[in-house]
Structures are given as C-alpha cells and as structure tokens.
Amino acid sequence: MTHINRRAFLATSALYPWTVPAWAHAVQNQPADGLIERLREPPNLEFPFHTLSAAIIPNDRFFVRCHFPVPTVAANTWRLRILGAVGREVELTYDQLRAMPPRTVTATLECAGNSRALNVPPLRGVGWQQGAVGNAEWTGVPLSAVLERAELTRQAVDVVLEGVDRGEVTAEPRPMGPLSYARSLPLAKARQPDVLLAYRMNGADLPPAHGFPVRAVVPGWYGMASVKWLTRILVTEAPFQGFWQTSDYSYFERMNGVPTMRPVTEMQVKSLIARPRANEMVRSGTEVRVHGAAWTGESHITRVDVSDNGGTTWAQARLAGEGQRGVWRLWDYTWRAPANAGRVTLMSRATDAAGRTQPMTRDTDRRNYMVNHVLPVEIQVN
Ligand SMILES: Nc1nc2c(c(=O)[nH]1)N[C@H]1C(S)=C(S)[C@@H](COP(=O)(O)O)O[C@H]1N2
Ligand SMILES: [Mo]
C-alpha cells in the first residue's frame, strides 16, 4: 500500500514538486469525527477538515492551539489592566466588561502554521494539515471602547495584549525563564470596531481552551493575534518587539531585495478542499461534489476555481453566502470524474476582492508560516 502510494507520489512529484504524498494525509489516533491530536500537552488539536459541513464550527470541534498549559482562571478574580502610554490606568472586572455595550462579530481564525505538514517537504513546527482553522461567532466589547477609557497618550503606537498563560520556550533567541504569551496590534488595527475582547463563542461562555474568561478576536489576522486568557493591555510608544513577533511568528519581507524581519499579521488568501479527501475513492464517470472553504485577510473572497489537471485549466466554483471581510466562504463544485480509472489531482484556488490569488508555489521567505499556496489533493478514480 505504502509502496504504491510512494510510486504514485514520485510519478506526480516530477510535474508538481509541491504535490502532497497521499500517505502524508494519514490521520493518527483519532475517532472519525473528533479533533485530531497533534500534541496532547499542551493541547494542540486540529479540526478534521473533511467533516466541514457548515460555516460555523461548533465550540467542541474548533481547533485548539496552545503554547503553554491551559490556565485555570476564575471569572470573579480575573482582572484586565490597561497601562503604559495611557492618560489613566484602567482596571476592569469580568462583570464591568460584560456591562459594557456588546458587539457580535463572525470571524475566521487560521493558525499561521496551518498546512505546514502538507508542504513538501513538511515545514518544522506543530504538524498541522488542513484543520488549524475555524470560524465562529464571537461576542464581546470592542477593544477600542476599552482603549478609549484609558485615554491613550499621543505617543501611543502599539497595543500589547498579554495572556495569563506562562512557560519557558526553547526557540532561540529567547529570554531566560518563563514568559507569558503576548502579541501586539498597531493602534490603527486595535481601533477597528470589529476587534473584540470576546467573552462568548457561538452563544456560550468561552470554553477554557479558547481563552476563558476573555480573549481578543482580531478578524483578518492569523490566529496568533487573538490572545486568549487576556489579562493585561500594555500601550507602548515604540513598535513592540516581543518574542512572539520576532523570534516566533515572523517572516522575511524583501525591501529592494534585502530581507527584513516582519511580524506575521494579515491572513493570506487561501482555499482548502474538504471533500474528496486525499486518497478518497470516487466512481468513474459520476458526478462528484468537490467542496471546501476559502478565506483571506482584510478583504473578502470573490472567486474560487477548481482544477483537475494540475492547474492547466480551471473551472469556477459556486460560492455560498455573501463575501464578508474576515469571514470564510464555503464553496462547491460539481465535478465529472473521468471515464477511466486512475489517480487524479484536484486543486482549488481562491481570489479576493483586493485581486489577490493563491500562488502555485511556496514563498520560502515565510519560514514556517503563512502556508497559502495551492495544495493539491490526490484521489483515486475507480
Ligand atoms: N494566551 C494565549 N493566546 C493565544 C495562544 C496561546 O498559546 N496563548 N495561541 C495563539 C495562536 S498561535 C492561535 S492560532 C490562536 C488559536 O485559538 P484557538 O485555540 O481558540 O483556536 O490562539 C492564539 N492565542
Ligand atoms: Mo497559531
């Protein structure tokens, strides 16, 4: 079995060097519909993307990405402090935050490392395949409303969001001893009205693994910006250079050819095929529903195309619902399987309203993040 797959892979890999070997999709240690365990402790759990059936992912099936053990935080002792370049320091209790005017936002979170295990060769880090992505309805208070209370000074530049969770890291360069998870937003992004301090997820209180009692939700940006178990907001007068946006979650951008390190921020346009899944068998000559989801950063999806011939020709898929910034769109396409048996490689390619289209190849300046190139899915026609 493995031998046959390996040969099939070698045959196609000459044509498409990024083709994913079918055995790389093999899913270990999981019940059919549960979350896929990529790491037990701290919990790093992947949504089984082939089960995608609706735009909202329920809380118990939403992927979990944790750098440190999930902290236990009691709502009645939890405090949120806003300090730094502020006119007055603010401290809020859970009840005070929940008494502020609420706002509900639908937002897609994708981990910046999603699909890294599907790159050829796999990129280093937690071995996410398709499912370190999800979409939920979040309720909370706009971050801007809380910042307003603190009366930011004119020198304010960055808003650092810090979680309760702490631990030691191994990647160099790193500070000695424990540090807490923290990420910053530039002031303009922090003030967007849909950036939330959320306390509800899909109509329920935030589950512990997703940041109870309060987390940030930053639509349009990769998941690492949506800090969970939020407890401090530090306003700085210079761009923040913390571990999680320099050593970790950073990439190289070329400035006239000179690589410059930048924090990972906006999600890149991307689509994934939920079904058929890799190695799935379909009947020759029949109609097959090819479907999945597509998302992007500070824009919305306007088009998804499907190819069954390695990207030589493309056919337009149907998009569900309306295009909305920061929210994924489900898509589907009715494909006619060839009359003859054999291996077929399916691909999907998304385009957004800003005119950005998924690239066909991997940009290696992105280190092990922002994996949005077209990811082929090899299936079996019988
Ligand atoms: N405090 C804290 N916030 C965090 C993290 C973390 O480890 N600690 N992980 C981040 C990363 S990398 C991602 S992708 C998202 C995942 O959110 P989820 O676990 O609710 O899916 O949370 C982000 N917020
Ligand atoms: Mo992430």
Domains of the chain (ranges plus CATH)? 6-30+268-381 (2.60.40.650), 59-263 (3.90.420.10)
What pLDDT, on the 0 to 100 scale, is given for residue 5?
37
What pLDDT, on the 0 to 100 scale, is given for residue 176?
94
Give me the chain's average pLDDT, please: 92
pLDDT at 70 over 70: yes
Distance 231 CA to ligand 2 centre (A): 19
Atom of ligand 1 nearest to the CA of 134: 21
* Whether the Cβ atoms of residue 271 and residue 316 lie closer than 8 Å to each other: no
Q: Position 281: which residue type?
A: M
pLDDT, average across residues 84-103? 98
pLDDT at 177 over 50: yes
Kindly report the pTM of this predicted structure. Answer: 0.92
pLDDT at 9 over 70: no
Q: Which residue has the higher pLDDT, 24 or 125?
A: 125
31: confidence class by pLDDT, cuts 50, 70, 90? very low
- Residue from 165, 179, 227, 228 whose mutation best tests the ligand 1 pocket (most atoms within 8 A of CB): 228
33: confidence class by pLDDT, cuts 50, 70, 90? low
What is the per-residue pLDDT across 287-321, written as a single tens digit (0 to 9) for each?
A: 999 999 999 999 999 999 999 999 999 999 999 99
Could you count the other beta carbons within 10 Å of the beta carbon of residue 327? Answer: 21
Distance 224 CA to ligand 2 centre (A): 5
Q: Which residue has the higher pLDDT, 161 or 13?
A: 161
Q: Strand order of the sheet with strand 281-282?
A: 281-282, 377-381, 342-352, 301-307, 315-316
Say which residue the tokens 């512990």 belong to.
208
Atom of ligand 1 nearest to the CA of 211: 20
pLDDT, average across residues 6-20? 37
**Portion of the chain with pLDDT greater than 90, in percent:** 91
Q: Closest ligand to 183 CA?
A: 1
Overall size of the chain counted in residues: 382
Residue identifier of the C-alpha nearest atom 20 of ligand 1: 210
Distance 182 CA to ligand 2 centre (A): 12
34: confidence class by pLDDT, cuts 50, 70, 90? confident
**3-state SS, residue 148:** helix
24: confidence class by pLDDT, cuts 50, 70, 90? very low
What pLDDT, on the 0 to 100 scale, is given for residue 3?
35
What pLDDT, on the 0 to 100 scale, is given for residue 313?
98
Q: List, chain by chain if needed, residues with CB within 6 Å of any ligand 1 atom.
A: 62-67, 109, 111, 163, 165, 181, 210, 223-224, 226-229
* H runs (alpha helix) in 115-205: 143-150, 187-190
- Virtual CA dihedral for 193, 197, 203, 206, nearest 10 degrees? 160
pLDDT, average across residues 254-265? 97
Residues with CB under 5 A from ligand 2 (ion): 65, 111, 223-224
Atom of ligand 1 nearest to the CA of 163: 1
17: confidence class by pLDDT, cuts 50, 70, 90? very low
369: confidence class by pLDDT, cuts 50, 70, 90? very high
**CB hemisphere CA count around 137 (13 angstroms):** 10
